Amino acid sequence: MIRLARVADATVIAHMSRDAIETGLGWTWRPQRVATSIRDPQSLCIVAGMRKILGFCIMQFGEELAHLSLLAVDSRYRRRGLGSNLVNWLLASARVAGIAAIHVEMRATNSEARDFYRTLGFEMADLIPGYYRGLETAQRMVLRLRPEGIEPTDWEPPVSWRRPEGSA
């Protein structure tokens, strides 16, 4: 089961980030930062699991681009499709939101993550030296959700759908 994260999930998500993602880099996704993302209308935070959180994803949305900030799955539940299900849930949301591309970074040495994202259609973009607190290089990958050069269309609701001025 995948659902939207609740503020009550922030501590579990933060600990998973510390233990599965931020190891050796210093802990920056503490419970308060995760809770802020959960409350942020420009972010989408989801979790997988029924009674216990087995995985989570956090993505920030811009007007055209989205950034997949964090993805972790409990090590005992990896390679069962849970990570793919989480990312695919976010990809569906990004498509509905009209996002042109999603980018994600991982440690350049993390070949498992690189292979995972490649299977989902992400492509190598660039290496970013010192991305992780000046300590490690990041590999950026990008997934284009619509072809380059195609601009989003401006759309306005029909006049009959609009509310009269001053109405709530």
Look at residue 94 and tell me if it is in a domain.
Answer: yes
Look at residue 163 and tell me if it is in a domain.
Answer: no
Look at residue 159 and tell me if it is in a domain.
Answer: no
What does the alpha-carbon distance between residue 33 and residue 56 come to, in Å, rounded to a whole number? 15
CA 55 from chain center: how many Å? Answer: 12
Look at residue 82 and tell me if it is in a domain.
Answer: yes
Q: What is the pLDDT of residues 73-112, one digit of tens each?
A: 998 888 888 999 999 999 999 999 999 999 999 999 999 9
Look at residue 166 and tell me if it is in a domain.
Answer: no
Look at residue 50 and tell me if it is in a domain.
Answer: yes
Q: Helix-strand-coil percent breakdown of the chain, rounded to 5?
A: 30, 30, 40
- This model's pTM is above 0.85: no
Look at residue 38 and tell me if it is in a domain.
Answer: yes
Q: How many separate domains does the chain show? A: 1
